[in-house]
Amino acid sequence: MDQPYSFLPLVAIALLFWLMVVRPASRRQKAIAQLQADLQPGQRVMLSSGIFGTIRSLDDDRAIVEIAPGAEIEVVRAAIGALEQPADTATESESESRPESRPESRPEPGDEQG
């Protein structure tokens, strides 16, 4: 009678693995595929290598990305990992609300008083 219940922990572990690992990974993969399908020239992007640039043109599987004025590179479309987020007002308002850190007044090296 214990035989049917002996597989219950194994099933629970498999379900937990699917919920914690497989499902989020497939969601991320779908999101990246959607991002790469929706790319448009003129968008600022970050490549998977960490290089930032602006898309100049797109082909089926390649993109021309300008990484500096006059410096363009050709990359595989799959190398585009994320869109660069513009500096939003929330980040600016946070920095404005923080008190400015002012350097302590320190004597100049030649102005030491002994």
Written as one letter, the residue type at 42 is G
Alpha-carbon span 42 to 86, nearest angstrom = 13
Whether this prediction's pTM lies above 0.75 is answered by: no
Sorted by where each begins, the domain ranges of the chain are 9-86
DSSP assignments along 48-100, one per residue: TTS-EEEEEEE-SSEEEEEEETTEEEEEEGGGEEEEPPP--HHHHHHHHHSPP
Please check whether residue 75 is in contact with residue 62, taking contact to mean a CB–CB distance below 8 angstroms.
Answer: yes
| Domain covering 9-86 in this structure, CATH number | 2.30.30
Please check whether residue 40 is in contact with residue 21, taking contact to mean a CB–CB distance below 8 angstroms.
Answer: no
Predicted confidence (pLDDT) per residue in 7-60, tens digit: 888 889 999 988 888 899 999 999 988 988 889 999 999 999 999 999 999 998
Strand, coil or helix: 53 = strand
State the average pLDDT over residues 85-106: 54
Alpha-carbon span 75 to 39, nearest angstrom = 13
pLDDT at residue 8 in the model: 87
